[in-house]
Amino acid sequence: MPKIPPLTSALKWAQHIFGHAKLGDPRRTKRLITVAADLAKTPGVSLVQASGKSEAAVEGAYRFVRNPQVQADAIGRAGFEATAAVAKQHATLVEIQDTTTLSYAHQGALEMGDLGGKQDSDRRGALVHSSLLVDGDSGDVVGLLDMETWMRPAQQRGTRHQRKQRAYPDKESFKWERTAQRVRERLGPEAMATVVSVSDRESDIYQYLADKLRHKERFVVRASWNRTVQWEEQSEWTPLWEALGDAPPVGRMVMEIPQRGGRQARQADMEVRALRSKLRRPQRVAGSYPAHLEVNVVRVREEEPRLSEPEPLEWVLLTWEPIQTPQQVLDIVGWYRMRWKIEEFHKVWKTGVGVERLRLQTAQNLLRMAIILAFVAIRLGQVRDLLARDPEGSCEQVLKPLEWKVLWAVVENKALPQEVPSLRWAYYAVARLAGWIDTKGTGRVGWATIWRGWFKLQERMEGFHAASIVGGG
């Protein structure tokens, strides 16, 4: 079995991801494969456009998406299990969790959940908590390991202050631990030993950290709270931020900070410190949780930020990974730096393959399509990773012979080469087809650009086939 699903054939990819889906009828699984393959061939288009010009194919696709006997959870479960099977071939894995929203304003979304914001907002939708698996060495996307979706009832608006009165399992914050439970069941003990779970400040929850430690699972959590700690060289309990000021320095690193919003891209000189400490249990945490948790803390802090930056870049990371050597500490920082992968996945899912452009008329229909499109977005990320990882390899690892020839004709506008071009050429050719210009000199192409280029290539392929039919007639 390959380390990633087959990418050159949308049909083979769909069979790999959804071929074992248990939907109550083999015909439904077959239709799921067809729908997923069609959407993967032309990501970003509507279901009608993806299904082609056959009225029967369009009708079959809509019957599937509208079928109340088809559960979105069952579709997702098939894909998650396919990801788990591939995951067991990797030496080190980083499992990145994050939450996003799906937002809609059309009439069919009225039955969906409240998203907050202004009281008179007409937008409804769902919250989604995802678990993305990437290779810990290369950073390549392995697959989607879990995705949980829920909707907030509109009548709960304004009751946030009551959350402290709820039991921990009844809070939305329990999503981290609930996902961890499913992930460990899906992967099993042997594979879990290779997995480092990475999450942002929202997951700095004492109960979640206790759960990871109790199961002896690896994690890197960005600290949010100035917890009371005791570190190994002193007996007094002090605030975490204060203790970090006395932590021994490990070394320095230069970090590339990408452009975001009004922030300019820059290189940041970072100081790295690390210490071993005990976290005291907060008073509000009830139950049989330990009085303290033993963790390692790593702080990465920008020493001389630009005058234009409002504050220095700083990460405080909680983990139980070893910190005896500088390389071990840098590995922890490197795994956390992969967190942007899930943000980019959510972006491509919502805007690239268009999950927020769906106009289906019920919440369940939307959710069935959303989970299929989530795996289509993953496939785009894997295509980009493969294009970038093995630049001198043959482009026929991701493009069919006719596809790269059409791409060459469109982008290069000259005679075909004698040898099959490299993946490096394909990577930039697809980007150039999308209008990409390396104005920053980084050579890095984002998922959204790859999606636009891939979509344009499929349009060219459709035009080529249509011209062949006309010419043959």
Token pair, residue 25, equals 């009828």
Q: Give the pLDDT of residue 473.
A: 46
* Residue among 34, 23, 85 at smallest CA distance from 57: 34
Query: What are the average pLDDT values for consecutive 10-residue runs of the chain, which has 473 residues?
Result: 65 95 97 95 85 88 96 98 93 97 82 80 89 94 96 71 75 96 96 97 97 97 95 79 88 77 72 94 90 95 70 91 94 95 93 89 92 95 78 86 94 94 92 87 75 81 73 55
CA atoms of 251 and 473, how far apart (whole Å): 70
Q: Give the pLDDT of residue 158.
A: 58
Q: Give the pLDDT of residue 231.
A: 80
State pLDDT tens for residues 249-266: 998 888 877 666 556 667
Q: Give the pLDDT of residue 286.
A: 81
Domain boundaries, the chain: 73-159+167-349, 390-472
- Its pTM stands at 0.87
Q: Give the pLDDT of residue 178.
A: 97
Q: Give the pLDDT of residue 1.
A: 39
Q: Give the pLDDT of residue 6.
A: 67
Q: Give the pLDDT of residue 233.
A: 60
Q: Give the pLDDT of residue 380.
A: 85
Pick the CATH number of 390-472 from 1.10.740.10, 1.10.10.200, 2.40.10.120, 1.10.287.3510: 1.10.740.10
CA atoms of 130 and 141, how far apart (whole Å): 14
CA atoms of 402 and 409, how far apart (whole Å): 11
Coil, strand, or helix at residue 277? strand
Domain 73-159+167-349: assigned CATH number: 3.90.350.10
CA atoms of 77 and 85, how far apart (whole Å): 12
Q: Give the pLDDT of residue 4.
A: 61
DSSP string, 369-420: HHHHHHHHHHHHHHHHHHHHH-TTSBGGGTS-HHHHHHHHHHHT-SPPPSSP
State pLDDT tens for residues 397-406: 888 899 999 9
Coil, strand, or helix at residue 228? strand
